[in-house]
Structure 1
């Protein structure tokens, strides 16, 4: 390959040896994806300032809750003409202010740089194994979006560009709430008709919520039909185990697992204990459902979003999982 990828690796050890050393000398990461050989053009470095200082494109694939910390570490070290690419499937929550912010917006505001968004039904292990995968690129700057596609697209990783970067990023975040609903359906062992209906309702509410949260940003209904929307929701319905996802699989599936456990355990299930026991994973869907519910309540719009409202109430033990369907039976789309 004609380009070099410098990867920031947290200063972590395994068997008394730094992960950076494993990656640069043995081309493996024994902790994360140990079965995958890392290409020679990937160089690991635990000094984040050095990682970004000579980069033309800075790719961020961090949990959204840590991106602000990341930006603080790199500000002042980024090249003038560099731009960002965000793979973050999450949102920045401001609970006290009843609002959400896109990760890409935070990057733009705090760095003054352009940011392209990439999202879709992707798992690290399957891409590393070169299994056929689709992703969506959201880019207002078409030149940057085209360059990202040129650099990343392969025979097995196919990419579609849209200017609706807001819609692409929102799909990656708010689908966590629909994933909990999917998990509830799976835990209750509901039939395919019911699960399909819940999936479609979630699809519709996601589209409406995109317009509700960012009414002036030009979100497009067609965006949700891309990999960042529809394909992500299919994954929500395909996960049928209570096991916490392995590192390298889609950790978004943790929200489906939460739905499974809520439907079977009810009020005896402790979200706090589950999160504590599930190391390196986050139940983002619970937090997102709570803040979205607060926003909708303030705007008197909860009746327009029965699924998102119902998921929040189930997570707070205000609604039995079995009662979710009664909420959906009077959904506004059936009027």
Structure 2
């Protein structure tokens, strides 16, 4: 991928030198991950001539200690609710009006809960610059009557614009602290991929480019379900050997789901940051794992009087939302409809533990077929959506 990146970046530099156009960035979403991404984007926009210095972030207005969150961000350069321990670059400005936030923008960065994407895009219709491009940082997929829908597909459907996808082992607080990590950008057009490479790549936030956007997004969504299993494992105090085994099994079913519903999914994408690395970090320290452990311990200690997912989410996540529980419901529904439950026994088990009272200890009741060497290469792919 390095040669593609170098070639495409060279093309970008020549295009900028000829046209003089600088790309203006608007970030849609100011949560934990959106704010960490704004730190990277703000620095790169200030550093690289191909980008306009000023970056706008659409921030859903909230009251914090009696003041408006956007006013607090713009006066202190700190998102005191979602990323309180880190300063945003001074060229990053919060804007509570969605349409105003994208005025003049040529690059859109979507980083909000996946269930709000379609509604947000509908508000943006007719308010965008000609030729605008987008990238999705959203860890989720939608489902409709035709099957699972990628976030990039939703963006293309609603806005008619080109969209890349970024996903990886990206815990926001660690990125904001400048700790080394990687991420993956999936692209359909290599010049557009290189443009977003330039926007995000830093010495401590290394980007790799892969052709195609499906695997990057599917892995980023399904790994949140697998992380529930890691939390159940921790609730049972089963240890790292067990958790590693569950992660491997989960990775197999992530790949199997991707190839079941989408074309051109490269096996090697599993070992990119958007695949194996993201699964590892989510299962070791992500919010889905943490809340699932608390849910599992409550089930083990209190039986039918256990605490609900909703109560634990409200208590533990400071206004943020779980992605794994919603994804588990949606995946189970689509697999039931398509009569594919037997192909995804681990994902089905996780759903039944989370929502149907199946014993927590059943998380390790693994079908023998998961130990066969042909479990990945032997999967027959049936494409029902693209």
- Asked if these proteins are the same fold (TM beyond 0.5), I'd say yes
Q: Is the contact made by 1:314 and 1:320 (CA closer than 8 Å) also made in structure 2? A: yes
1:263/1:298 CA distance change after superposition, 3 Å = farther
Equivalent in the alignment of 2:115: 65
Equivalent in the alignment of 1:176: 224
Q: Is the contact made by 1:177 and 1:286 (CA closer than 8 Å) also made in structure 2? A: yes
The 3-state SS of whatever aligns with 1:34 is strand
Unpaired runs of 5+ in structure 1?
A: 240-251
1:200/1:254 CA distance change after superposition, 3 Å = closer
Q: Is the contact made by 1:293 and 1:309 (CA closer than 8 Å) also made in structure 2? A: yes
Q: Are 2:103 and 1:53 equivalent residues in the alignment?
A: yes
Equivalent in the alignment of 1:136: 184
Q: Are 2:299 and 1:265 equivalent residues in the alignment?
A: yes
| Alpha-carbon distance in structure 2 between the residues aligned to 1:255 and 1:93 | 23
| Alpha-carbon distance in structure 2 between the residues aligned to 1:283 and 1:198 | 20
Q: CA RMSD in A?
A: 2.0
The 3-state SS of whatever aligns with 1:286 is helix
| Alpha-carbon distance in structure 2 between the residues aligned to 1:277 and 1:256 | 12
Cα distance, 1:306 vs. partner? Answer: 1.4
| Alpha-carbon distance in structure 2 between the residues aligned to 1:231 and 1:291 | 24
| Alpha-carbon distance in structure 2 between the residues aligned to 1:260 and 1:190 | 15
Cα distance, 1:11 vs. partner? Answer: 2.2
Cα distance, 1:18 vs. partner? Answer: 2.4
1:100/1:110 CA distance change after superposition, 3 Å = same
Equivalent in the alignment of 2:173: 125
1:1-335 mapped onto 2 (5 Å cutoff): 1=46, 2=49, 3-94=53-144, 97=145, 99-214=147-262, 217-239=263-285, 252-262=286-296, 264-266=298-300, 267-269=304-306, 270-278=308-316, 279-326=318-365, 328-334=366-372
Cα distance, 1:319 vs. partner? Answer: 1.9
| Alpha-carbon distance in structure 1 between the residues aligned to 2:85 and 2:333 | 43
Question: Per-residue displacement from partner, 1:248-277 (whole Å, max 9, x unpaired)?
Answer: xxxx52344224422551543322433454
**66-75 or 131-140, larger mean C-alpha shift:** 66-75
Cα distance, 1:308 vs. partner? Answer: 0.5
1:268/1:16 CA distance change after superposition, 3 Å = closer
Question: Per-residue displacement from partner, 1:219-256 (whole Å, max 9, x unpaired)?
Answer: 111112111111112123423xxxxxxxxxxxx52344
**221-230 or 12-21, larger mean C-alpha shift:** 12-21
Unpaired runs of 5+ in structure 2?
A: 1-45, 374-386
**187-196 or 49-58, larger mean C-alpha shift:** 187-196
Cα distance, 1:25 vs. partner? Answer: 2.7
Q: Is the contact made by 1:183 and 1:236 (CA closer than 8 Å) also made in structure 2? A: no
1:111/1:234 CA distance change after superposition, 3 Å = same
- Give the count of matched residue pairs: 318
The 3-state SS of whatever aligns with 2:102 is helix
Equivalent in the alignment of 1:248: none
The 3-state SS of whatever aligns with 1:113 is coil
The 3-state SS of whatever aligns with 1:190 is coil
| Alpha-carbon distance in structure 1 between the residues aligned to 2:72 and 2:328 | 40
| Alpha-carbon distance in structure 2 between the residues aligned to 1:40 and 1:204 | 43
Cα distance, 1:48 vs. partner? Answer: 1.4
Question: Per-residue displacement from partner, 1:60-118 (whole Å, max 9, x unpaired)?
Answer: 11010111221122111111111111100011233xx3732111100001100001100
